[in-house]
Amino acid sequence: MHSYSSRALAEQSSRRLEEKLDKLMRILQDPPASHTTAAAAPAVREKKDLVIPQATPPLDKEDYTNIRFWEESKWDEYKNTKKPRPSKIAFLQGEDGSYTSGKRLTHINAIAKQLWTELYAHRQDPHSWGQASDTAAHFFNRSMTARFVEFQLCDETGWKVRAYGTAVFPDWSRGPRASGNLRRELHFFHIT
């Protein structure tokens, strides 16, 4: 008799498992839009959205007369004539015109790497910074500009944050991303 009840329990457990598996398969086969409906909400935990900050209002060049490289053309002219060639990010200056300190650059680089890791987690990281999607570029550019005045001290093109990303992204790409230690966001399905 004991073996009969064990067998019955095993069959019942197997049926419940099959029902849950069928339900999971239906969820996975539905188009992604159905996962955001109220009816699907209990079964699916959505990944955290990538939040793109509001654009920072541009600063007035007349208020920052000590900034040497307001326009990208001035930076290009300088770096192409200066011997030895300056650092790829020597265009970064504080509000008083002083070049950004090493300690400050370390902080800027740390935040940039965090933002690129966030893009990686959301599957928005480009192969190279020049291939960044509009979403990735807006997220990074606006986040950096909101945090660091150095990226606001330029014309309305926002060239400094773009040039910074182009110069520094390869370090992150060859380092943390290439290490294989980063994790991407996953969808978690809860069977109820």
Percentage of the chain modeled with pLDDT above 70: 68
Which amino acid is present at 13? S
Q: Which pLDDT belongs to residue 30?
A: 46
pTM over 0.85, yes/no: no
Compute the chain's Rg from CA coordinates.
Answer: 25
Q: Which pLDDT belongs to residue 177?
A: 63
Coil, helix or strand at residue 189: strand
The length of the chain is: 192
Helix axis angle, 159-172 to 102-121, nearest 10°: 70
Q: Which pLDDT belongs to residue 49?
A: 81
**Could you give the C-alpha distances from 150 to 2, 19, 60, 77, 166, in angstroms and in order?**
76, 58, 14, 20, 16
Contact assessment for residue 115 and residue 140, using Cβ atoms and an 8 Å cutoff: yes
pLDDT tens by residue, 75-134: 999 999 988 888 999 999 999 999 999 999 999 999 999 999 999 889 898 999 999 999
Q: Which pLDDT belongs to residue 82?
A: 84
pLDDT tens by residue, 152-173: 999 999 999 999 999 999 988 8
Residue 48: pLDDT over 60: yes
